[in-house]
């Protein structure tokens, strides 16, 4: 679904989002680093400048190389960020979940998108255009520096991902992905649902190699897999 086709519902989405946030005491944004320290009045101003949009699974939100200028905040769902080379091979840079955001560089420049973003589950997003962001910053200039710090931390994280692809072996990259994606739940470290192909695209290797590594980790009692979620049972070995 393209954005132009949902403009007729913009007023309803904005109203729905506004009442949802008011009813929840702004809790929807409590864990979003980019905006979590905003005073209530600035938060309310910013919210009025956004638009809620919904997408089904496998919807492409951003295409690598295209020109667009909006920031997106994930309210619900899951997305993947990936780049495609000239031969059509994909490398997944990261997965995004509730509270994450993407497209932030477009708020600061007018360059083409450096990566693509696709939903891997039904997803709700808030969209903030470059013009709306500039209006907000001009009205509240004190908010710019804290936001730039958050954006800088995101760029450092991307640098770490690129560095790992060039310095770690395949096992090291797989272990890094598992530890990065895993969340602490009920005293366990558990990843979201991940296929071997998705992990392979995140580490720049073949699905067969990833399957061999995960199989050995499972046999060694380091991990177990249930419903495509990986449970890290004990500290992963330094070498494969």
H-only helix segments in the chain: 10-23, 40-48, 130-139, 144-167, 170-181, 196-203, 207-219
Contacts from 2-6 at CB under 8 Å and sequence distance 24+? 3/53, 3/127, 6/53
Kindly report, residue by residue over 123-140, the tens digit of the pLDDT: 999 999 999 988 988 998
DSSP lists the bridge partners of residue 73 as 101, 126
**Per-domain residue ranges for the chain?**
3-165, 169-232
* Predicted confidence (pLDDT) at residue 27 exceeds the cutoff of 70: no
Read off the pLDDT of each residue in 7-32 and give the average, rounded to a whole number.
Answer: 43
Residue 182 has, within 13 A of its CA and on its CB side, a CA count of 23
Checking if the pLDDT of 2 tops 90, the result is no
Reply yes or no on domain 169-232 having CATH 3.40.50.200. no
**64 - beta bridge partners?**
none
**With respect to CATH, is domain 3-165 assigned 2.60.120.10?**
yes
| Helix%, strand%, coil% for the chain, nearest 5 | 45, 25, 30
CA atoms of 12 and 208, how far apart (whole Å) = 47
Q: Assign 107 a pLDDT band (cuts: 50, 70, 90).
A: confident
Confidence at residue 6, expressed as pLDDT on a 0 to 100 scale: 33
């Amino acid at each position: 679904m393209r954005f132009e086709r949902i403009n007729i519902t913009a007023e309803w989405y904005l109203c729905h989002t506004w009442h949802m946030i008011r009813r929840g005491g702004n809790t929807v944004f409590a864990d979003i680093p980019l905006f979590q320290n905003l005073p209530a009045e600035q938060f309310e101003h910013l919210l009025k400048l956004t638009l809620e949009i919904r997408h089904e699974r496998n919807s492409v939100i951003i295409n690598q190389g295209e020109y667009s200028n909006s920031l997106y905040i994930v309210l619900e769902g899951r997305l993947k960020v990936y780049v495609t080379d000239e031969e059509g091979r994909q490398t997944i840079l990261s997965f995004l979940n509730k509270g994450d955001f993407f497209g932030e560089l477009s708020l600061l420049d007018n360059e083409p998108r450096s990566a693509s973003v696709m939903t891997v589950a039904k997803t709700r997003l808030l969209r903030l255009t470059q013009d709306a962001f500039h209006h907000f910053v001009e009205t509240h200039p004190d908010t710019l520096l804290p936001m730039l710090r958050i954006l800088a931390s995101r760029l450092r994280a991307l640098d770490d991902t690129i560095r790992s692809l060039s310095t770690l072996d395949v096992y090291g990259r797989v272990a890094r992905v598992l530890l990065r994606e895993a969340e602490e739940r009920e005293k366990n470290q558990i990843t979201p649902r991940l296929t071997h192909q998705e992990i392979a695209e995140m580490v720049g290797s073949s699905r067969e190699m990833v399957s061999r590594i995960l199989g050995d980790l499972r046999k060694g009692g380091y991990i177990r897999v249930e419903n495509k979620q990986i449970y890290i049972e004990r500290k992963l070995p330094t070498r494969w």
